[in-house]
Amino acid sequence: MNTSSAEFLASKAKQDTMNPNPVASPPEMIGAEMLVKALHKEGVEFVWGYPGGSVLFIYDEIFKQDKFEHILVRHEQAAVHAADGYARATGKVGVALVTSGPGVTNAVTGIATAYTDSIPMVIISGNVPTYAIGEDAFQEADTVGITRPVVKHNFLVKDVKDLPLVIKKAFHIAQTGRPGPVLIDIPKDVSAAKGPFVYPEVLEMRSYNPVVKGHSGQIRKAISLLQEAERPYIYTGGGIILADAAPELKEFADLLGYPVTNTLMGLGGFPGTSPQFVGMLGMHGTYEANMAMQHCDVLIAIGARFDDRVIGNTAHFASHPRKIIHIDIDPSVISKRVRVDVPIVGNLKEVLQEMTAQLKLAGPRKNGEKVAAWWEQINEWRKKDCLKYDEASQIVKPQYVV
């Protein structure tokens, strides 16, 4: 052994003595395996998908594991709709896997549905190898461009080292703020390339920080309006269900004693058996719900967006003077169709908790007689019984079946 070799071994032995527990290098694996490992870490239970050439490496890795179940569908649209249904039923992120080109285009309708209804989903798509992108390769499509209008965000992964962080970001974006679908486009050579797998435990995104806590000053203004209202109305939408805020809504509404309506997407967010519930709102809603909307003097919209099926033509909406409070996690929907007086951006669950706490401290209201007269008017509208039907008919009515 020469002198330089001896010095090297002595130096290494000294380093090992000083650091008896050296940090192990992150494991190396192909992109497809990284994806599967990341899905494990995100607690994914099911993946709906249909195989294709650009995702075969991913399918190879899926069938080597047993921590989540892959459900084979007959069409990519079914995969996305199934993942959507799972997310609606559980509140968890739905995951779908599709191949490039026609696989992605087949999935677009389901992705658009999830985007419109604010459903948390992650769609994983394969693509042609990075070197073939833009060359009209077999089953190539501009996945990022095609899906951009119908996703909350999308990613094209060009380097396998970026894949773990991209997956972490995708799940975070999909289920925070206003939920929605996020697409990860993985070229075939990226799913086959090797790299170190380091999955981040904590994620910080400087460019994405949804507001969660409502502005205290705006909340105080809202409480003041609600305390003074003579013909108040609580209008709730699907945001209540997405935020898991039904218990908070119930406590808030019970404390006020004001009438409550739901949109179609918000059905189930407030008990339909409650005497305060005046039925669903909108073109398929009840007479009393729609009349109350047109004649109220203070309207509080919670997780709803004043869509055309609810208010119709904005030029004819709110012909009576009124004040509008609008609470939503997404600032872009506030004053989008109807100008509001008190906007509150924040998580519905937290905002309702804060408003309920302030109402309890505010003491008794002075609008009791006016609100009682308002309820008398609503009960007069209820007498119209717009949902009645002929039960004595020899023909079985759909209402009876339902």
Residue holding tokens 């001896």? 6
Within its chain, how far is the Cα of 358 from the centroid?
Answer: 28
> Could you report the per-residue pLDDT of 313-353, keeping only the tens digit for each?
887 786 778 999 999 999 999 999 999 999 999 999 999 99
What pLDDT is stored for residue 92 in this prediction? 97
What pLDDT is stored for residue 180 in this prediction? 98
Q: Residue ranges of the domains in the chain?
A: 28-196, 216-382
What pLDDT is stored for residue 25 in this prediction? 85
Cα separation of 150 and 296, whole Å?
35
- Kindly state which CATH superfamily the domain 28-196 is placed in: Thiamin diphosphate (ThDP)-binding fold, Pyr/PP domains (3.40.50.970)
Are 28-196 and 216-382 equal in CATH topology? yes
pTM above 0.85, yes or no: yes
Start-to-end C-alpha separation, the chain: 90
> Could you report the per-residue pLDDT of 131-166, keeping only the tens digit for each?
999 998 999 999 999 999 999 999 999 999 999 999
CATH 3.30.499.10 fits 216-382, yes or no: no
Listed residue (123, 128, 101) closest to 187, CA to CA:
128
> Could you report the per-residue pLDDT of 367-393, keeping only the tens digit for each?
899 999 999 999 999 998 887 777 777
What pLDDT is stored for residue 400 in this prediction? 79
Looking at residue 156, what DSSP letter applies? Answer: E
Which residues of the chain carry a pLDDT beneath 50?
A: none
